[in-house]
Structure 1
Amino acid sequence: MSKDLYLKKILGEERFSLIRGSTVLMVGAGGIGCELLKDLMLTGYGEIHIVDLDTITLSNLNRQFLFRQKDIDKSKALTVVKSVSKFNYFDSKLVPHHGNIMDTSMFPMSWWSQFDYIYNALDNLEARRYVNRMALYLKIPLMESGTTGYEGQVQPIYPYRSECFECQAKVTPTTYPVCTIRSTPSKPVHSITWAKEFLFQQLYDDSTSSATDAEESRKQLEKETDDSAEIEHMLRETNELNDLKSHIAGGADVFLPELVEKIFVRDIERLLEIESLWKHGGRPVPLDWSQLKPQLDSLLLTSTDLVDETKVQTPLENLYVLWKSGEKLVKRVVSGEPVVFDKDDEDTLDFVVAASNLRSHIFGIEVKSKFDIKQIAGNIIPAIATTNAIISGLSVMESLEYYKAKDSQAAFSNSSTVFVSIKPNKYLMGAGLVEQNSSCASCFKVARGVMELPETSGDLKLGELLEGLRQTYDYEDDHYEISIISGDSRLIYDIDFEDNIPCGLDELGIGIGSTLLIQVDEGDLQGLELYISKGKEFKLPQIQLRELPKTISEPEKSEAEVEKDGEVVFDDGVIEIEEIEEIEEIEDIRETATKLSSQEPPTKKQRL
């Protein structure tokens, strides 16, 4: 019995043949990627390319089952191919690439064009957007997937038929005001960010320059707050840390007592002097260093290991962890070893955990365990191996619709976006694919294509490019006035800027790997974004640009209609007409509305 007999029965001879002859790309070889590569191989795909920039770390091993402890610090892409070779039953050709998928020199457009299907197994928003754009340029189907704890989803994307990755707004990473982090923290994440991004970097991390110009620092802080006392405090705090850093050379016995007294006692006492910060309460309490120091000295003599992953530790225990990790970091710095924060570097993690917990204790904030702080400081999205396995299986199953007839329209009609969760009655839910979002700037308002150009792009003049654009995309009509903008947002051409017409493209800094955006200045025609790829001759893609839906603006109301509605509306207030008939000048109305908007809402008798 042949080993592919069951697959042929399940998939059908024709679909299995298409899969065997297919070349696919898998971007990401982490939690989802390990499971996905296994599933792609066992489905019989003929050629699979795997791209990943990362190396394997200890924290990967609990869910990325293709890696072992001996693989730590090795390339994920190269290692994953070696691991699956043991069960490559259908002799799939596996091609690993250790690199950044956004590297255009390593992965040019000609490389992308070989793929029939793309599978995303990424945890990086920027890279996901980039892969989405590549799929749009080449009209390659893309399978998006992601998990968070017990929840996950898969989204088949058929370029220009279904929603693309950017049709719906994505949640952006949360940032926190400098003043909140440095002066008035109120959440554990504020303390953790302070310990990792400010304290640790100022003291140990030479990859981030701390010698910022004083005037520039002041300007940055003035954007955050207009409290001059707070600004002066933060500048002084930074300068003192820079001075303290020079004491590391004197050893831990000199450096650490000065560090603790400065950041947990003197800095807090000075903060308390700025009364404007504590109008609404929440005053911090400086660390009782004089009482804790003898207890710490006694504890240090016992050499007890107090680092506990899951325990919420006392201030004394956190001081002990800060001290022991500080001693190790000082030795590393003195020896000339570069020190940067890494969630898998126990010395750096212990220092950040202890420092953030001591600060939380001072500000009356909930203290966290090392396990919890590691997830926040390391930007770790909770990952569960079972969820990754389910989502990977669904990714392959949903992509099979495309291989039924290798037709995007049929696949769009029969495919689903699938969600999984641990909520009762919502373990597995599917919904039909949605058409493009008419407000999406990536796939609806702009059409994308690949323009071929010989290596000697300088032989092509901008005027020749313009002529080709007008003929290919019917820009000849006087109704269309176009402008050309380069990928770095430089205006290359418009009707009022024709200086570059005789220039070669190389003179304008445009070549292989560049992008050009062609926009219609008048009318409602789609924009056109062209990616320049290497070819034998100058060739523009055949794209039918469409008219965008016209924006229907609400007609302006006549004076009679406004009076009928009974109100006049300004940006800064609303005044009822029947109550201001005595006011004749519109300037007086606006002035009155402004005054009213700045006061407490009046009663009817108090109105004009």
Structure 2
Amino acid sequence: MKDTYLKKILGGKCFNKIQSARVLMVGAGGLGCELLKDLVLSGYGEIHIVDLDTITLSNLNRQFLFRKTDIDKSKSLTVAKAVESFNYLGAKLVPHHGNVMDTKQFPLEWWQQFDYIFNALDNIEARRYVNSMCLLLKKPLMESGTEGYNGHVCPILPYYSACFDCQAHVAPKTYPVCTIRSTPSLPVHCITWAKEFLFYQLFDEVEDSGLNDSEAISKETDNDAEIENLAKEANELAELRAMIVNSDKDTFFRELVNKIFRVDIERLLQIDALWQTRRKPTPLHLEEYKLDVSDLSETKNWTIAENLYALYVSSANIQQRLKEEQYVAFDKDDDDTMTFVAAASNLRSFVFHIETKSKFDIKEIAGNIIPAIATTNAFISGFASAIGTQYFKHEKATLENTHLLHTSSAAKHAVVSAPIGPPNPECPSCSAYRGVLHVSRHDFDSLTLQWLVDQLVPLYKSDISIQVGQSKLIYDVDFDDYALDKLSQVPDFKNGETILVQDDSNRLDNLILYLAVGNETRFPPVKLKEKPVKEESDLDGSDDDGFELIEGDNSSDVEIIEEPPLKRKRV
């Protein structure tokens, strides 16, 4: 029998539970491919797979279930087919191509069917959303992630253990617009400029981006000359964009280089205030160089002549494509677009006396690629699957019989295991009381926001504030503009949205309601407790070091999780 060894290892009772279990795996990338293999071979009866992405060439080196012929196909649909060759125990595989945060495709009822949820995600927003749904429905969650040789596995038992939001996460690195466009000092500044500004303005669908935001620029500098120069630079790019279809490749290339790497730089040099404490850039004169085609290897640092030739070839190719396509979007796996960004960023680095990079290195930065190692994905997913089975083996999962795991740089302890910790009493997610607010479709169009306020005020016996979605204030004692509006007319008040309720005195628990518009109106039973009083030592601003969660295979999207403001009043 194919299940003989599994029954011996897990025990017959545990194996039967796993066979009848319905689990969800969110993410089908590097970690997800390995994890799905382990879940299938562990005997899970029904596995749902959710992923938004399609397969690219750069995925193939570590996402072993994909082949070259799978490029541009859905990851979730492809992995479900790929594991059939070793689906010996007959797991039912249900792929879903979509965003797990889409409440229309994945409503509350859909989430309720699962016995266990495995995260194999690579972005913080989706991880926080899955965490919030698990808290709402009290579903156990296996949180895992890898980054290079590092990795973690962290089981989450809602309200018994720390949740994903119990710990702060590292803030994303961003750069001021004026630094990117006027005074770069690092290779990443030039790469960001080439990808997010130059390429975007010349070739992409929309002719505006965050790096051309006049409001953001005005907040960063009060130098009128710099603001005027940035406006002229944007106008020049608009003129270059207009030339793409109507000019030959040689003319376009000469105008591109002269305007971007000579004229713009000469104009910047006239703003003395920018160079009082910085080294001045050196304009690039195209006539001083003969284009060099000798070696455009991705792993070597190109000379200036080679960068110019790479820019010439890539811009000509994109120019030709734009005669048939409306726009060309940047893709790290599109050789034309990647070569253009690499050459343009290196030429800008040369002008500003910054070290240049190889195309390979620039691709890592421009493509937001964090080194991912197949071996790390393999053993982290193996631990995630193995620890997950413990939930089905024990009659009741506890803090003592459930462990987290993470890698270590210590010579004798490559992997470290420890019991999971209790919830953080100050966590904005699991310290709040959660419930589902059911509203019938008829009442959604007839009841007013004041009706909801009248349900909530008696719970707190004080003034309250109500926020919806991403901290959008819709009610407090000084802001009742929407009080008499029908629920369906209140901005962002819609099915699947979360509603945050807080009391002005900050005495009782926050309340988080999930809005479910359906066939009936039912307010959830709510029991609010008093918030713990902070000791003097808690108010000195010091932080305790905690276990660092790694943000996932190929993750680039991390942020500091902060407690929501007590109230936002209208000024």
Which aligned pairs between 1:19-98 and structure 2 lie closer than 5 A? 19-98=18-97
- Per the TM alignment, residue 185 of structure 1 is displaced from its structure 2 partner at its CA by 1.2
Q: Following the alignment from structure 1 to structure 2, what is the Cα–Cα distance between the partners of residues 517 and 211?
A: 30
Cα deviation, residue 441, structure 1: 1.0
User: Who is 2:558 aligned against?
Assistant: none
Aligned CA-pair RMSD: 2.6
1:517 to 2:513 alignment: no
Counterpart of 1:188? 187
Cα pair distance change 1:347/1:462, threshold 3 Å: closer
Other-structure match for 1:240: 236
Q: Which residue of 2 aligns with 1:356?
A: 345
Q: Matches of 1:287 and 1:506 in 2, distance apart? A: 58
Do structure 1's residue 279 and structure 2's residue 268 form an aligned pair? no
* Residues in 2 aligned to 1:231 and 1:535: alpha-carbon distance in whole angstroms: 52
Q: CA deviation at 1:507?
A: 5.5
Give the distance between the partners of 1:503 and 1:191, measured in 2 at CA.
Answer: 49
Shift of 1:329: 1.0
User: Aligned AA for 1:434?
Assistant: G
Match of 2:407 in 1: 420
* SS of equivalent residue, structure 1 residue 343: coil
User: 2:327, 2:479 → 1: CA distance?
Assistant: 51
Does structure 1 retain, via aligned residues, the 8 Å contact 2:205–2:326? no
- Residue 308, structure 1, aligned to residue 297, structure 2: yes
Alpha carbons 1:102, 1:130 under 8 Å: kept: yes
Pairwise mapping of residues 363-512 of structure 1 onto structure 2 (< 5 A)? 363-408=352-397, 410=398, 412-421=399-408, 424-444=411-431, 446-458=432-444, 475=458, 479-487=461-469, 505-506=487-488, 508=490, 510=493, 512=495
Q: Distance in 2 between matches of 1:119 and 1:33?
A: 9
Distance 1:461 1:505 in 2: 5
- What amino acid maps onto 1:413 in structure 2? E
The CA distance in 1 between the partners of 2:185 and 2:450, in whole Å, is 60
For residue 321 of structure 1, what is the amino acid of its counterpart? A
Asked which structure has the greater CA Rg, the reply is 1
Distance in 1 between the 2:368 and 2:410 partners?
Answer: 25
Shift of 1:204: 1.3
Matches of 1:179 and 1:492, distance apart in 2: 35
Aligned-pair CA distance for 1:394: 1.0
Q: How far is the alpha carbon of 1:25 from its aligned partner?
A: 0.6
Aligned to 1:575: none
Amino acid at match of 2:184: P
* Structure 2: gaps spanning 5 or more residues: 538-571
> Unaligned stretches of 5+ in structure 1?
555-608
Deviation by residue 1:227-270 (Cα, 9 ceiling, x = unmatched): 22222222212212211222222121111011112222222222
Counterpart code for 2:311: L
CA distance in 1, matches of 2:280, 2:334: 34
Change (3 A) 1:492 1:342: closer
Q: What is the DSSP-based 3-state SS (H/G/I as helix, E as strand, rest coil) of the residue aligned with 1:48?
A: strand
State the TM-score, normalizing by the size of structure 2.
Answer: 0.87
Deviation, 1:542, is 4.1
The change in CA–CA distance for 1:211 and 1:359 in structure 2 (over 3 A counts) is closer
SS at structure 1 position matched to 2:73: coil
| 1:319 maps to 2:316 | no
Q: Which amino acid aligns with 1:19?
A: I
**Structure-2 change in CA distance of 1:219 and 1:496 (3 Å):** closer
Residues 217, 38 of structure 1: CA spacing in aligned structure 2 closer, same or farther, 3 A cutoff?
closer
- Residue type of the alignment partner of 1:362: V
Partner of 1:126: 125
Q: Distance in 1 between matches of 2:222 and 2:295?
A: 43
SS in 1 for 2:322: helix
Q: State how far apart, in whole Å, the 1-side matches of 2:301 and 2:531 are.
A: 58
Identity %: 54
Give a deviation string over 1:446-503, Cα, whole Å, max 9, x none: 1112233444334667676567667xxxx468x4454544447566666788898887
Residue 147 of structure 1 aligns to a residue whose secondary structure is: strand
Letter in 1 for 2:438: E
Deviation at 1:382, TM superposition (A): 1.0
Name which of structure 1's ranges 307-316 and 25-34 shifts more when overlaid on structure 2: 307-316
Could you say which residue in structure 2 is the equivalent of 1:206? Answer: 205
Give secondary structure in 1 for the equivalent of 2:317.
helix
SS in 2 for 1:436: coil
Residue identity matched to 1:514: E
Q: Secondary structure at the match of 1:321?
A: helix
Q: TM-score, normalised by structure 1?
A: 0.82
**What is the one-letter code of the residue matched to 1:119?**
F
Instruction: Please state how far the C-alpha of 1:524 moved relative to its aligned partner.
Output: 1.7
Inter-CA distance 532–330: structure 2 relative to 1 (3 Å threshold): same
- CA deviation map 1:138-172 (0-9, x unaligned): 11111111111111111111111211111111123
**In structure 2, what is the Cα distance between the partners aligned to 1:504 and 1:337?**
42
Q: Answer with 415-424 or 486-495: which moved more.
A: 486-495
1:530-555 Cα offsets, whole Å, 9 max, x none, are 1123565433444532221123569x
Partner of 2:533: 550
Distance in 1 (CA, whole Å) between partners of 2:58 and 2:484 is 57
- Determine the C-alpha separation between the residues in 2 that align with 1:383 and 1:20: 32
- 1:590 is matched with none
One-letter code of the match for 2:270?
E
Higher relative contact order (CA 8 A, sep 6+): 2
